[in-house]
Copies of this chain bind each other. A is one copy, B any other.
Amino acid sequence: MFPLEQSKLDKAIELLSIIDITSATIRQVCALASLLEEEAGEKMVHLEMGNPGLPAEDVGIEAEISALREGVAGHYPNIAGIPSLKKNGSEFVKAFLGVEIPPKAFVPTVGSMQGSFTLMLLLGQRIPGKDTMLFLNPGFPAQRNQAKLLGLKEESFDIYSYRGKKLEAKLESYLSKGNVTGLIYSNPNNPAWTNLTEEELEIIGRLATKYDVIVLEDLAYFGMDFRRDVSHPYEAPFGATVARYTDNYILMLSGSKIFSYAGQRIAIVAMSGSVYERRYKYLEEFYEMPVFGDAYIFGVLYCASSGTSHSAQYALSAMFEKAVKGELPFVEHCREYARKAERTKKIFTDNGFHIVYEKDGDNPISDGFFFTIGYPGLSSKEIQMELLRHGVASISLASAGSEQPGVRICVSMIRSEEDYENLDRYLKEFNRQHRSS
């Protein structure tokens, strides 16, 4: 039964060789949650991991099965991507973001994880001296690990206190040093579910151009800022993107959340035509390929995995195509997360918790895949540990580079009424213990 005794939690952490819970990976927290579940003989509420939680889109599955039947498994995929995926990716971006990118500049990757990993590698090479990635925090911890693994330098700041106009001076204080090659963030934000405003995107775009910084915009949760209905192809409003304010951008669009297609590890990188065609002396020397896009595909991606699953490319291509035709209502499908978030947030706030990152400009954040919560007087680590002890798994905000005390809540794994009931029961006990202490 939850809550567990502290000693049992400590023992499980030791058993898994987790050195510091606040910097543990999501997979480590999952493993820990399983152990605690066994120990308690009772279900945990899993709010740690962003597994899609919806069934994969049938359109993708059927396209993938057809491609397999046609024999694509026997042939290396073109590393640059199958032509239909490149074309349909370009249409998708035009239809839903209102941005024109040539098919040539669309390249499939093994999830956006491979996208950011391999792009950062190349960004670290393009100009000697530009050796630093700037992270807008809070952010996806794995991306900071990637930079570390690649031996890149990094800078970061928590945007919590620098929203709106205040972003400009803060951002310029980093970019003006000249050592930043790329800037990365996800929008909607993982973990805070904030969305950069048009004012903020304009600042980022303008400064990226001014200081020759390339923006990696991770659109993993595209369409899930439900305050703005982007579900009508080729009609405003379009999705928010820095691509409207600079040519120095590379978008990452994953099938994992948008189409609930995480299992097949399929995403697409879309660089502006001008980024693709840029020529660098270093790339010419290192890869014998001066053109950025060519060096990316035939230099980096070739080395990283020689391309992406052939059949999964057909899946993503078909899903883009149907979405563009208005025959695959992916935004509506994902709205389920907003419904879950609304209920889950209420259970937290009814039990003494508050939303940490709560506004974009003057507007409350959207309901969606994630939100962040804090509890009066408790640190990130204390909240995470105490929630674990009480039967609730989550990820520390500290691990996401946030300076605010709190944890990330992901609603995707909530499946049943029982989960809501357990959550309410566990948090009531949490609140009872901490309110009175």
Binding site for B on A (CB under 8 A): 17-20, 23-25, 27-28, 49, 51-52, 54-56, 60-61, 64-65, 68-69, 71-77, 79, 109-111, 113-114, 117, 121, 142, 145-146, 148-149, 151, 256, 260-265, 284, 286, 288-291, 294, 298-300, 302-312, 315
Q: A284 vs B64: C-alpha distance in the bound complex, in angstroms? A: 40
Interface contact B298-A263, CB-CB below 8 Å = no
Q: In angstroms, how far is the closest chain B Cβ from the Cβ of A40?
A: 23
What's the nearest-Cβ distance from chain B to residue A303, in Å?
5
Complex: how many Å from CA A318 to CA B113? 27
**Max chain B Cβ within 10 angstroms of own Cβ: one of A28, A76, A148, A294:** A76
- The answer to whether B303 and A113 have CB atoms under 8 Å apart is yes
Q: What chain B residues lie within 8 Å of A312 (beta carbons)?
A: 309
Copies of this protein, total: 2
* Chain A contact residues, majority secondary structure: helix
Pick the residue among B55, B114, B263 that contacts A304 (CB under 8 A): B114
Can you report 28 A-B residue pairs in the complex whose CB atoms are below 8 A from each other?
Answer: A17-B289, A17-B291, A20-B288, A27-B302, A51-B75, A54-B74, A55-B74, A60-B73, A65-B69, A73-B262, A73-B315, A74-B263, A75-B262, A76-B262, A77-B263, A110-B114, A111-B305, A113-B302, A114-B304, A114-B305, A142-B302, A149-B300, A264-B309, A264-B310, A265-B305, A265-B309, A309-B312, A311-B311
Query: Is B25 touching A298 in the complex (CB atoms < 8 A)?
Result: yes
